[in-house]
């Protein structure tokens, strides 16, 4: 009987030592799904670096500008029709408000996050200067590059061209152009207004993929008001 009691005590001691030597921690969970009409991002106590890497490897979307936050543990869950919809929610969740999307035709390829601290002044005069500068510029969509073998190349579009209208709709950010291209892909032809060297260039093209990689660009508001 004494032997059994001793063995029982030894087992309890060993179990106690084992549990406290190897504390249980909640395993991280990460799911990224990038399919037609649906984007899913679910993370539970997952390093931010792992989330960004998974988005990059699964959906080929690079998210840059979050250096220094890689080790943060994130719990987040969202799904939507497009990657940009979910990534916007994700960036708001981690309190990042300044960012720019870059697209290759209708596909999101890169997100550049601008840290809040970048360019912030400590004085009211510098803050007023920043506000004045923001009011003096307008957002437009710039052609970053032209994809070989596409209608954009045949039409002579060039890097640096500004797309200001698509089928009569004003274009002031990449997402608007992406939405218009998707919604009107079943039409025959559409009209697009491009500005090159401050000269408007009306272009007639087939509806659907244009064949360009695009991004945001700020131009003087006085110049933008002319288009």
Q: Residue range 108-115: average pLDDT? A: 86
- The answer to whether the CB of 106 falls within 8 A of the CB of 182 is yes
Extents of the domains making up the chain: 29-97, 135-224
Torsion angle defined by CA atoms of residues 112, 37, 165 and 159, in that order, rounded to the nearest 10 degrees: 50
- Does the reported pTM lie above 0.75? no
Position 149 scores a pLDDT of 94
Please determine, for residue 26, whether its predicted confidence score (pLDDT) is greater than 70.
no
What mean pLDDT value characterizes the chain?
Answer: 82
Position 8 scores a pLDDT of 59
Model pLDDT for residues 119-167, shown as the tens digit of each residue: 444 444 444 544 444 457 788 899 999 999 999 999 999 999 999 999 9
- The answer to whether the CB of 41 falls within 8 A of the CB of 85 is no
Rounded to the nearest 5°, which phi and psi values hold at 169? -100, 130
d(CA 139, CA 209): 22
Right CATH for 135-224 from 3.90.550.10, 2.30.42.10, 3.30.1300.30, 3.40.1310.30: 2.30.42.10
Model pLDDT for residues 36-48, shown as the tens digit of each residue: 888 999 999 999 9
- The answer to whether the CB of 153 falls within 8 A of the CB of 147 is yes
Q: Residue range 27-56: average pLDDT? A: 91
Position 216 scores a pLDDT of 85
């Amino acid at each position: 009987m004494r032997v059994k009691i001793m063995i029982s005590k030894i087992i309890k001691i060993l179990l106690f030592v084992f549990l406290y030597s190897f504390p249980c921690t909640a395993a991280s969970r990460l799911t990224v799904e990038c399919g037609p009409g649906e984007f899913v991002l679910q993370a539970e106590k997952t390093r931010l670096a792992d989330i960004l890497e998974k988005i990059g490897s699964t959906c080929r979307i690079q998210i840059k500008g979050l250096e220094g936050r890689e080790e943060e543990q994130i719990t987040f869950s969202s799904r939507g029709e497009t990657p940009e919809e979910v990534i916007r929610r994700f960036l708001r969740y981690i309190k990042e408000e300044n960012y720019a999307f870059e697209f290759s035709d209708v596909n999101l390829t890169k997100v550049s996050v601008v840290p809040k601290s970048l360019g912030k002044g400590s004085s009211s005069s510098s803050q007023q200067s920043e506000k004045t500068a923001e009011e003096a510029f307008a957002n437009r969509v710039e052609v970053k590059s032209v994809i070989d073998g596409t209608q954009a190349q045949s039409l002579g579009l060039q890097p640096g061209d500004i797309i200001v209208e698509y089928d009569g709709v004003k274009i002031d950010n990449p997402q608007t152009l992406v939405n218009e291209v998707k919604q009107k892909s079943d039409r025959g032809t559409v009209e697009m207004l491009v500005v090159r060297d401050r000269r408007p260039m009306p272009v007639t093209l087939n509806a659907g993929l244009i064949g360009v990689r695009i991004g945001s660009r700020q131009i003087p508001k006085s110049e933008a008001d002319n288009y």
